[in-house]
């Protein structure tokens, strides 16, 4: 039986598209299926990608919660409801593919209690440039002569941002002629590949267990 994937997105959904393609014609065919795509932004183009593929979607925006409950209480309520939405979808695995919200204990603890794993794609090597603007920060460090390589990883999600155990890591060299744009392109091309491979490794291990 194919593993059910719930994919969380915030933007264009290019990483989502790589997953969809792999379930239709690639290494995930017969192994996994995207059963739902959830976005925190109603205008995320990834929702259109999902709809074109016949995948159900939903939107879970933060702003209404902040307006009704205030910032702190609203965020906790938002996260609690997010975990309930995900659990109700009964996923085998949750995939953060460009999800732009930090996942708090209010989200992670209920998933862990139900043995629902959640993974994230991050454009940096383990322990380097955790958090936002990772590519730009790596490029700046290279310009200062501090590093000659960066990379991308897929890791398990824990409360520490980008601090979970890596599943797949791919290095990317930073060449003297690189610009931020060319470095972004190199990393994004690798991200699509390792995200699919990581999902494949996880669902294959689960099937074989």
Give the residue numbers annotated as catalytic, written as ranges.
122
- Cβ(9)–Cβ(185) below 8 Å: no
d(CA 125, CA 103): 20
Which helix (H) or strand (E) segment holds residue 86: the answer is helix 71-88
Q: Answer for the pair 91, 33: CB distance below 8 angstroms, yes or no.
A: no
CA distance 129 to 139: 11
Q: Report yes or no: 134 and 123 within 8 Å, Cβ to Cβ.
A: yes
- The set of residues, in sequence order, having a beta carbon less than 8 Å from that of 139 and lying 6+ positions away, is 150, 174, 178, 179, 180, 183
- CA–CA dist 79, 106 (Å, integer): 6
* H helix runs in 119-179, sequence order: 134-143
CB 96 within 8 A of CB 119: yes
**Those residues with Cβ within 8 angstroms of residue 17's Cβ, 6 or more apart along the chain or in another chain:** 46, 49
């Amino acid at each position: 039986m194919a593993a059910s994937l719930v994919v969380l997105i915030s933007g264009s959904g290019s990483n989502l598209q790589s997953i969809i393609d792999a379930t239709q014609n690639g290494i995930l065919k017969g192994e996994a299926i995207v059963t739902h795509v959830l976005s925190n932004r109603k205008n995320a183009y990834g929702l259109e990608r999902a709809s074109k593929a016949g995948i159900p979607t939903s939107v879970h925006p933060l702003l209404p919660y902040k307006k009704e409950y205030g910032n702190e209480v609203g965020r906790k309520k938002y996260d609690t409801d997010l975990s309930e939405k995900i659990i109700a979808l009964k996923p085998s695995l949750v995939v953060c593919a460009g999800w732009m919200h930090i996942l708090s204990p209010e989200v992670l603890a209920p998933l862990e209690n139900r043995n629902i794993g959640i993974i994230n794609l991050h454009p940096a090597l383990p322990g380097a440039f955790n958090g936002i603007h990772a590519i730009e920060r790596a490029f700046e460090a290279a310009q200062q002569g501090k590093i000659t390589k960066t990379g991308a990883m897929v890791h398990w999600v824990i409360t520490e941002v980008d601090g979970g155990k890596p599943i797949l890591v791919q290095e990317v060299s930073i060449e003297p002629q690189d610009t931020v744009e060319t470095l972004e392109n190199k990393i994004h091309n690798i991200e699509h590949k390792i995200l699919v491979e990581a999902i494949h490794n996880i669902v294959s291990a689960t099937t074989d267990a």
